[in-house]
Homo-oligomer: A and B are copies of this chain.
Amino acid sequence: MQKRIAELLKKNQLSITESRKKILELFQSANGALAHADIEKQSGEHFDRVTIYRTLQTFVEKGIIHTIPTADNSVLYALCKDECSAGHHHDNHVHFICDDCGTTYCLDHVDIPAIQLPIGFKAKQTDIVMSGVCKECNV
């Protein structure tokens, strides 16, 4: 696990530092998306908040994580699939937020349906965020 993390950083030409290792570890062991505040808490407040901001930015740029838009306009982050790289994200999947437990899921296997737009409109990207009750909280 530790090895995989180091390799992932190397592959992206990032030096291996405590904060980067720890933050990646948090993402890999989380079962949903994480907010900046989650990381701050879960890392035991070892790192400056600025460091966390910069680490997240770097990871997004490198295609290691992607951001998830939410209805309440907070920012969430989740691991990208292997196909993503610097400047080329391929995170075309549906996101699901559980109203009950608050967990945000990347539903990688749910396809984005084609949507017929009015004449003249040409879509390049489709973001779908659903909410309701997740499989853990269901009954």
Contact = CB atoms under 8 A, between A and B. Distances in A.
Interface residues of A, number: 36
Given A73-B69, A73-B75, A75-B73, A130 B119 contact: no
Number of copies: 2
B115 A128 contact: yes
A87 B76 CA distance: 27
Interface in A60-97: 69-71, 73-75, 94, 96
Contacts of A136: 120
A108 to B, nearest CB: 10
A119 B136 CA distance: 11
Given A109-B118, A110-B116, A120-B134, 18 more contacts: A71-B127, A73-B75, A94-B115, A96-B121, A96-B123, A107-B121, A110-B117, A113-B115, A117-B130, A121-B133, A121-B135, A122-B138, A123-B130, A124-B132, A125-B131, A126-B128, A127-B128, A127-B131
6 contacts: A69-B129, A120-B135, A120-B136, A120-B138, A122-B133, A127-B128
